[in-house]
Amino acid sequence: RKISPIIRSPREATAKLRENQISFLLQRNNGVWRYDSNQLGSNYPIEDMKSEEISPLGDRLFFGVYDGHSGWNTSKLLSKKLIPKVEEHLDKAIKGYGEYSYLIPNKQELTKKAIENAFVELDEDIIIHSINRLLNTSSQESDGLSYINESLLSAFAGSCAIMAYIDTIDKDLYIACTGDSRAVLGVKEDTVNGEKKWKAVALSEDQTGRNEKEIKRINEEHPGEEGNIISNGRLFGGLEPSRSFGDSKYKWNMKMQDAVFSKFFKIRRGLAGGSRNKTPPYLTARPEVTHHKLTETDKFLVIATDGLWDELSNEEVVELVGKFLDGKRDIVDEEKNNFPVLKDDKEKAFTFIDENASTHLIRNALGGAKQDLLCALLSLPSPISRRFRDDVTVTVVFFG
């Protein structure tokens, strides 16, 4: 348990919110001019991770956020290895075309497949290949306790992932989603009376046990087990995301479980779901990959873990960043300023005092202009804070 200092003033709240923020200006005329990012932990240590990668020529940009659960180990591994793995698969897919990549037939489908394969291959490394290496290595030949711990804990813990890949030459945006993090595009459109209006375009779909498409997919993969797998919107009543990296107890069979636990722990761990777990794996890291052709009306992209989306709707997020871009700097009462109506009819008071768009979103997700609420939420120690707020990681990419 971490004892958090009491946040007693708006100044202290702002300092805490801004501890991890970054803002990066790109000095290339490639269609992306800036990105902002920030994280705020609720778990201790934080289980969310993130990563960014910009190619030397600036023609390929990658942004990823990773929502860990049951520990930080899997999300930490993804922050180091997922983007390089995707780059490796993309390079293989377009090898030989060089600067003539625009001539590649079915380039969009080829790219989507390369990203998909990279996600799956990395998860296989986590839950199969690295573990098999441990099982097939004697203690005398082991690479050491730290390697064993890293491999096992990355397989035991789990993580969602959402990654944005931007091909600035062809103006292609790809979103790969495994789990329930989300990507939303901010579009500025003309209205019939000539005014500009912000529009939210979802580029991913939450993959959870409440998503009917996901339930159908899982049931089709395990015929005869319908009704036994998803319980209360969760996998075997436990895990909410229906796709993830790691989470070996939903993927290993009993033989693999016994081999691992008899060698390293001298105890036996049961399968997730107990007797209902008949034909693992029940989880996959295979992402849904979507493509969007960027246009002049596309102004920004927000990718974030569910700690943000649990508190703000897609429309609220786009309005908040849109008004941030428009230069608004004051307090906004939602009901009086054409913000989208909340599902639960809670009143919110949004505020515009941050220079970093990600910090701006996190602040408004946790109370905004309601300073007492914000200070109270930031003062809660872990793990008590998890009853009221989740880890949250936000990256905002600006186009133009």
pLDDT at res. 94: 84
| SS3 label, residue 381 | coil
**Low-confidence residues in the chain, pLDDT < 70:** 1-3, 96, 98-99, 101-102, 138-145, 329-346
Q: Which H or E run contains 117?
A: helix 107-124
The label of the residue with tokens 């890291």 reads 285
pLDDT at res. 91: 93
One-letter amino acid at 79 equals S
Q: What is the pTM of this model?
A: 0.93
Structure tokens at 46: 């934080």
Domain residue ranges of the chain, discontinuous segments joined by +: 10-207+243-247+283-399
The label of the residue with tokens 């794996």 reads 281
Q: Any idea which fold 10-207+243-247+283-399 has?
A: Phosphatase 2c; domain 1 (3.60.40)
Q: Angle at which helices 254-264 and 145-156 pack, to 10 degrees?
A: 150
pLDDT at res. 336: 42
pLDDT digits (tens, 9 = 90+) for 146-197: 778 899 999 999 999 999 999 999 999 999 999 999 999 999 998 888 889 9
For the chain, count helices (H), then strands (E): 11, 16
Distance CA 101, CA 123 (A): 28
**Residue 164 CA neighbour count, 13 Å, CB half:** 34
Contacts of residue 277, Cβ cutoff 8 Å, sequence gap at least 6 = 236, 250, 271
Report strand pairing: 158-167 vs 60-69.
Answer: antiparallel
Look at the chain and count its residues: 400
The beta strand positions in the chain, using DSSP E, are 22-25, 32-40, 48-54, 60-69, 158-167, 172-178, 182-190, 196-202, 230-231, 234-235, 245-246, 288-293, 298-304, 331-333, 349-351, 392-399
| SS3 label, residue 116 | helix
Q: 92 phi and psi, to 5 degrees?
A: -65, -40
